[in-house]
Amino acid sequence: MKKLTLLLILLTPPMVAANDSCHPKTGTYQDCIAYLGQQIGVLKQENHAQRANIKQQIGRLETENQAQLTKLERIQAQLAKLKPMAADDPCNMKDFGTFECILSITHRIAQLEKKTQTQQTEIQRLTANNQAQQAEIQRLTTDNQAQQAEIQRLTTDNQAQQAEIQRLTKVDNKHVQTADKLSKRLNKQAETVGELSKRLTALDNKQAEKAGGLSKRITAVDNKHVQTAEKLSKRVTALDNKQAEMAAKLCMPFAKQNDNIDWTPGKVFHDCLKDGTKGPKMVVIPAGTFRMGDIQGGGGSNEQPVHQVSIKRFAIGRYEVTFAEYDKFAEATARTKPSDKGRGRGNHPVINVSWDDATAYAKWLTEQTGHHYRLPTEAEWEYTARAGTETKYWWGNDIGSNRANCHNSYCGDSFEYTAPVGSFAANPFGLFDTAGNVYEWTCSEYQDKYSGKEQR
């Protein structure tokens, strides 16, 4: 029996050449759509030819299968029949039971068994071939259905692209009309600019004449102002000296000053140190209740759950502690001054200080002023940083530009490293740098999820 071999062609989209109609550098959108429509037509013709070929092959397989079934039935009919004994057969009735008859019967049985085994093998082979052919017919039918679905999808895509071309064509027409109108308006504006230019030239000439006269008058006035400024400078210097003396007297050690503090929300004040100088600038924070935690979403698991916290009024440093303020503490307590790593001292926020260093600085302020200073709790810090808002930052959900100092100028700032304190706008409570610049210590113990420690 002959085996029928089918060659299936897998249709794959062609590679886009550099000069192809659908190449982004050489082809236009309309050329690409026309090219795709042409390719769909070619695919339909090839599919029609393949379907005809598959149908022909299926018919041939069915014919061969029927022939094999007929042959099988014929073989089975032959097995059912037995040949009658000939007159000279050794096993006819008169010779039955002789040695020659037994040998003849044994020989015929062996031939029948051999022929039966051969026919059974042929039956099994024909049955296997029939099953394989049925499976091949099923596979070809499935491939044909898949190709029909692909043609339908390509047709749908082509229709959508044609609709998009029509829409873009309408938009282009509107753009052309708008460009014509703008061109006419620009021509009119050019004429108007020409007229205005002439009028401005005439005005400039008149103003130049007036400027000459004014220049002389201004020179005379400037001379008088210089004399007046010299007199005022001397008076200001004298007043500054008096104010310096008064300031030194006003900022007295805590033993001589009134301990009553004005707790008006937003009130800014200094406590005096023992040497008569001023401590960090503080601002009064009003009492209130707020939702603490990751309100907007996108934060860490240690910012959950969002919960309500009530805060009593207190005062907090308006700025981050500066190098100048911390260096004064280090000198007074014989501590090693922290390194600024070349990023700036003075009015820059102090860096490279541990939690113990920060706690010791607060304790020193308590000893110097007579008022209780400490690090804020985590809840107090978030309350003052939010300043009554529930957005990602106190100014909104977007980082914006030049509102804070952060790494690689992501915030739009111009500082390579830390920024001097107070370089950006304060939040509604009057605090600076609650977002960006440097990390800040609190006095609360760290916890994976809020459990109350953030308020202690």
Domain ranges for the chain, please list them: 29-183, 268-455
Q: Strands, DSSP E only, in 103-164?
A: none
Using one digit for the tens of pLDDT, what is the confidence trace for 321-353? 999 999 999 999 999 999 999 999 999 999 999
Give Rg (Cα) of the chain: 50
Of 377, 330, 379, give the one whose Cα is nearest residue 357: 330
| Residue 291, beta-bridge partner list | 308
Q: What share of the chain is helix, strand, coil (3-state, %, to 5)?
A: 55, 5, 40
Structure tokens at 274: 């023992």
Query: Maximum CA pair distance of the chain?
Result: 169
Of 352, 350, 344, give the one whose Cα is nearest residue 417: 344
Structure tokens at 357: 């260093």
Quote the DSSP letter at residue 348.
Answer: S
Q: Which stretches in the chain have pLDDT values below 50?
A: 1-14, 16, 254-258
Tokens 């039966």: give the residue: 116
30's CB contacts (< 8 A; 6+ apart) are 165
Q: Strands, DSSP E only, in 221-369?
A: 268-272, 278-285, 288-292, 307-311, 314-317
Phi, psi of 151 (to 5 degrees): -65, -40
Phi, psi of 310 (to 5 degrees): -105, 135
d(CA 337, CA 327): 6
Q: pTM here? A: 0.48
d(CA 292, CA 379): 7
Q: Residue 355: how many CB atoms within 10 A of its CB?
A: 11
Single-letter amino acid code for the residue at 286: P
Domain 268-455 grouped into CATH 3.40.47.10? no
Quote the DSSP letter at residue 322.
Answer: B
Residue 394 near residue 426, CB atoms below 8 Å: no
Using one digit for the tens of pLDDT, what is the confidence trace for 263-303? 899 999 999 999 999 999 999 999 999 999 999 998 999 99
d(CA 266, CA 284): 5
Residue 65 near residue 130, CB atoms below 8 Å: yes
d(CA 40, CA 11): 11
Q: What is the pLDDT of residue 379?
A: 98
d(CA 345, CA 362): 20
Structure tokens at 418: 């830390």
Residue 451: alpha-carbon gap to chain centroid: 32
Structure tokens at 321: 């502690």
Element (H, E) at 328: helix 323-332
Residue 308 near residue 291, CB atoms below 8 Å: yes
Residue 287 near residue 400, CB atoms below 8 Å: no
How is 17-72 classified by DSSP, letter by letter?
-TTSTT-TTT--HHHHHHHHHHHHHHHHHHHHHHHHHHHHHHHHHHHHHHHHHHHH
d(CA 298, CA 406): 19
Quote the DSSP letter at residue 393.
Answer: B
